[in-house]
């Protein structure tokens, strides 16, 4: 009897404990929503969730990894409908919820034949907001004596590149505006509250700008956090760190609108601006011009504190960007790497392997050897020519002078073509021969206004290595149009600019037909591509207002004139109407002193950005006019 009472008593205790536990720690709950639930192809969405009575949450399907118990997540640019599942666990169980974002597929839009060049990652020119963390575009760590100059005022760094003493660092600087407009009207995205975090302790203040507030040190994690307020009167973002203990590590400064702990790498503004295009060319972002890389071990590391520098950003970030956007990528191989390196350190083999292992399926890779190897302003052109002369004189590559042309410049152009062939073969060795001209698209680019240089290179390749279409995907140039005569006012500028555009348009038609042989007049990229079974690709192009430039303020004013929009539309419309394959506009964004950018601030549409987006969203079937002069038919009124 006594035992039964004890059992009954224990049962009551258990029940009471369960009631108390349930009262103190009720069943976990979770709410997760997507906004919006349906988006256009290539745009981003937002996931919001709120949980109660939970200890941890883990994401799956469209996202992965541990997440906060409640929060917000901005998706990458989506190219397919995606489910986002979150599982949260508490003391009394687990709850799982899923929300979906439906992606409306593209319907034969002109954007499928349009690409965009993205710019350098640095403190003075990155108006495209590549990274959420502006530390990745920072100039470098320098002494307190001259914190703007990490080259002449360096500080000691640890093995991972972080400073080991007090230091200063410049995150964002700005060029002068020819129209002298307030910076908060031309670059409003710069201003707001940035989130600062670093490992270690320090006193932090702005260097000739802004306000640092709400600084908190967490001794359990050895982490300091703070807010950096950039006000409308500030002209730069630079910080100095003093009273450190052996410097700091893991420094982050996140743009306004992003929270510490986010797993998002690229800014939503950047991803959304890329959405209309099919292809991203990263020539500047990779630091292609005068790139000093000679082997795989000399490349930029993804773990470097800043991605600014002569090496360009790490290849891993280019691949992450392609995966985040679903866009094809156009990459440039540094000119000084040894393509004949037989070791495992061969730059191209290592790069191809990295791409094969980490790039999402369905994304194409355009591969170009260096950049503008015909252009004498770049060191790579002179390096190429010298190497070609050495190859001919030593007999290392007798094919370059196979026809006894005895012209060192032609030897150089031919060597560029031969190097492109070798790169194609190296990629084929990693991806397999069937990937060439499918997943991997080797391209040979040259000067638009001298297409006979490409003609010679194609004849050289064909004579020595067989049909170019076996190892090349396409050819092309950069059809910039510029003012052809001096001018003194806005009307004169646009009259001269239209003359320049009319010089460019005839090259898109592919007429007259090319039938091989040597033709110095009338040969165009389109008719050569048709003859050799290649694609016609323009690696850059658009208006170039730097030619005959005498009045910077007038040039800057032209950027907001509707006529620049009409001309950008006209060039693209004619290119498409003539049946060409890919036009990669130069470039996405630039500061006010650089007239090439489609944007000066990604939140402020311009006539050029409107033109690009208008063409990209127009059905490709609407573009049927192929003409040699600009007409009203080429742009939307």
Q: What is the pLDDT of residues 96-127, one digit of tens each?
A: 999 999 887 665 899 999 999 999 999 999 99
| R_g over Cα of the chain | 28
Model pLDDT, residue 18:
47
Residue 65 has φ and ψ, to the nearest 5°, of 100, 175
Q: How many residues does the chain have?
A: 637
- CA 209, 214, 217, 223 torsion-angle sign: negative
- Return the DSSP state at 37: S
| Sheet of strand 46-52, all strands in order from the earlier edge strand to the far edge | 29-35, 46-52, 70-74
Secondary element (H or E) of residue 84: strand 82-90
Say how many C-beta atoms besides its own lie within 10 A of residue 182's C-beta.
11
Return the structure tokens found at 145: 């004596």
CB 590 within 8 A of CB 125: yes
Instruction: Report the alpha-carbon distance of residue 360 to residue 378 in Å, rounded.
Output: 33
**Predicted local confidence at residue 51, as pLDDT:** 95
Q: Which of 544, 543, 541, 538 is nearest to 586 (CA)?
A: 541
The answer to whether residue 633 scores a pLDDT higher than 90 is no
**CATH 3.20.20 placement within the chain:** 269-634
pLDDT reading at 42 higher than 60:
yes
Contact between 92 and 26 (Cβ < 8 Å): yes
Q: What's the mean pLDDT in 472-495?
A: 96
CB atoms within 10 A of CB 621: 9
The domain 2-105: what is its CATH number?
Answer: 2.60.40.10
429-458 per-position pLDDT tens digit: 999 999 999 999 999 999 999 999 999 999
Q: Is 32 left (phi over 0), alpha (psi -120 to 50) or beta?
A: beta
* CATH 2.60.40.10 in the chain, residue ranges: 2-105
DSSP letter, residue 623: -
| Nearest of 285, 391, 300, 289 to residue 340 by alpha carbon | 391
pLDDT at position 631? 83
pLDDT at residue 599 in the model: 97
Pairwise CA distance, residues 600 & 606, whole Å: 8
Please give the structure tokens belonging to residue 534: 């290649």
| Bond preceding residue 344 cis, omega within 30 of 0 | no
Contact between 140 and 152 under an 8 Å Cβ cutoff? The reply is no
Q: Predicted confidence band at 593 (pLDDT cuts at 50, 70, 90)?
A: confident
Least confident of 109-113, 181-185, 258-262, 632-636: 632-636
Separation of alpha carbons 289 and 424, rounded Å: 21
What's the pLDDT score for residue 210? 77
d(CA 557, CA 213): 39
CA 25 from centre of chain: 47
CB 237 within 8 A of CB 139: no
Residue 65 backbone class (left: φ over 0; alpha: ψ -120 to 50; beta: rest): left
Helix 315-325 vs helix 347-358: crossing angle, to nearest 10: 30
Confirm if 526 and 509 have CB atoms less than 8 A apart: yes
Percent of the chain with pLDDT over 70: 95
Confidence of residue 636 (pLDDT cuts 50, 70, 90): low
Mean pLDDT in residue range 238-243: 97
pLDDT band at 20 (very low <50, low <70, confident <90, very high): very low
Architecture per CATH, domain 269-634, reads as Alpha-Beta Barrel (3.20)
* DSSP letter string, 382-436: HHHHHHHHHHHHHTTTGGGGTT----HHHHHHHHHHHHHHHHHHHHHHHH-GGGB
CA 286 to centroid of chain Cα atoms: 9
Q: At residue 131, does pLDDT exceed 50?
A: yes
Place of tokens 């992965």: 64
Q: In 168-314, where does DSSP find H-type helix?
A: 183-186, 268-274
**Residue 341: both structure tokens together:** 């390196």
Which residues on adjacent β-strands are paired with residue 168?
Answer: 142, 240
pLDDT at 162 over 90: yes
Closest CA to 514 of 529, 495, 498: 529
Nearest CA-CA partner of 142 in 171, 122, 121: 171
Two tokens at 489? 């006012």
CATH topology of domain 132-264: Immunoglobulin-like (2.60.40)
Q: Strand pairing of 141-142 and 82-90?
A: unpaired
Report the candidate in 358, 242, 225 with the shortest Cα–Cα distance to residue 302: 358
Kindly tell me if the per-residue pLDDT of 564 is higher than 70. yes
Contacts of residue 183, Cβ cutoff 8 Å, sequence gap at least 6: 174, 177, 190, 232, 234, 235
- Identify the pLDDT of residue 553: 94
Q: What is the number of other CB atoms lying within 10 angstroms of the CB of residue 66? A: 9
| Residue-wise pLDDT tens digits, 249-305 | 999 999 999 999 999 999 999 999 999 999 999 999 999 999 999 999 999 999 999
Pairing of strands 93-104, 38-40: parallel
Element (H, E) at 212: strand 211-218
Which positions ≥6 away from 423 have C-beta within 8 Å? 333, 339, 348, 367, 369, 442
pTM for this predicted structure: 0.85
- How far apart CA 34 and CA 588 sit, in angstroms, is 29
């Amino acid at each position: 009897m006594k035992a039964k009472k004890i059992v009954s008593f224990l049962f009551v205790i258990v029940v009471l404990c369960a009631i108390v536990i349930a009262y103190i720690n009720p069943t976990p709950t979770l709410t997760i929503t997507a906004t919006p639930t349906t988006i256009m192809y290539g745009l981003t969405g937002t996931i919001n969730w709120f949980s109660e009575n939970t200890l941890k949450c883990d994401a799956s399907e469209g996202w992965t990894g541990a997440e906060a118990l409640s929060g917000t997540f901005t998706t990458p640019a989506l190219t397919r409908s995606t489910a986002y599942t979150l599982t949260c666990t508490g003391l009394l169980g687990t709850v799982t919820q899923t929300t979906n974002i439906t992606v409306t597929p593209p319907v034969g839009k002109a954007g499928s034949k349009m690409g965009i060049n993205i710019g350098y990652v640095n403190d003075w020119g990155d108006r495209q907001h590549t990274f959420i963390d502006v530390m990745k575009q920072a100039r470098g760590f320098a002494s307190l004596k001259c914190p703007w100059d990490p080259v002449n005022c360096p500080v000691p760094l640890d093995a991972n590149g972080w400073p080991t003493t007090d230091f200063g660092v410049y995150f964002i600087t700005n060029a002068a505006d020819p129209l002298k407009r307030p910076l908060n009207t031309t670059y409003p995205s710069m201003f707001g509250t940035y989130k600062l975090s670093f490992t270690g302790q320090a006193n932090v203040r702005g260097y000739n700008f802004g306000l640092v507030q709400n600084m908190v040190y967490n001794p359990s994690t050895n982490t300091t956090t703070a807010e950096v307020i950039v006000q409308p009167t500030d002209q730069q973002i630079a910080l100095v760190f003093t009273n450190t203990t052996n410097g700091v590590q893991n420094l982050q400064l996140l743009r306004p609108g992003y929270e510490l702990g986010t797993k998002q790498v690229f800014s939503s503004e950047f991803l959304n601006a890329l959405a209309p295009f099919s292809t991203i060319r990263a020539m500047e972002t990779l630091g292609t011009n005068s790139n000093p890389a000679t082997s795989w071990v000399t490349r930029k590391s993804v773990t470097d504190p800043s991605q600014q520098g002569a090496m360009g950003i790490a290849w891993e970030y280019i691949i992450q960007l392609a995966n985040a956007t679903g866009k094809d990528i156009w990459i440039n191989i540094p000119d000084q790497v040894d393509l004949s390196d037989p070791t495992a350190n061969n730059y191209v083999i290592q790069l191809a392997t990295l791409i094969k292992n980490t790039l999402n399926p369905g994304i194409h890779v355009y591969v170009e050897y260096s950049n503008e190897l015909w252009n004498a302003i770049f060191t790579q052109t002179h390096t190429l020519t010298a190497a070609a002369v050495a190859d001919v004189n030593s007999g290392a590559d007798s094919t370059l002078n196979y026809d006894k042309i005895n012209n060192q410049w032609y030897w150089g152009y031919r060597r560029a073509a031969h190097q492109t062939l070798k790169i194609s073969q190296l990629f084929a060795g990693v991806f397999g021969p069937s990937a060439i001209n499918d997943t991997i698209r080797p391209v040979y680019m040259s000067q638009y206004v001298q297409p006979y240089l490409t003609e010679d290179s194609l004849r050289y390749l064909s004579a020595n290595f067989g049909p170019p279409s076996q190892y090349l995907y396409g050819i092309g140039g950069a059809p910039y149009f510029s003012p052809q005569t001096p001018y003194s006012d806005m009307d004169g500028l646009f009259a001269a600019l239209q003359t320049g555009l009319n010089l460019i348009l005839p090259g898109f038609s592919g007429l007259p037909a090319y039938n091989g042989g040597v033709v110095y007049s009338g040969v165009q990229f389109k008719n050569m591509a048709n003859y050799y079974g290649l694609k016609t690709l323009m690696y850059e192009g658009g208006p170039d207002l730097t030619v005959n430039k005498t009045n910077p303020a007038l040039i800057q004013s032209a950027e907001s004139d509707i006529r620049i929009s009409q001309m950008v539309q006209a060039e693209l419309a004619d290119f498409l109407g003539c049946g060409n394959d890919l036009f990669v506009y130069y470039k996405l964004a630039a500061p006010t002193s650089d007239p090439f950018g489609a944007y000066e601030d990604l939140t402020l549409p311009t006539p050029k950005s409107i033109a690009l987006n208008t063409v990209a969203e127009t059905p490709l079937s609407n573009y049927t006019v192929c003409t040699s002069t600009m007409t009203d038919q080429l742009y939307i009124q």
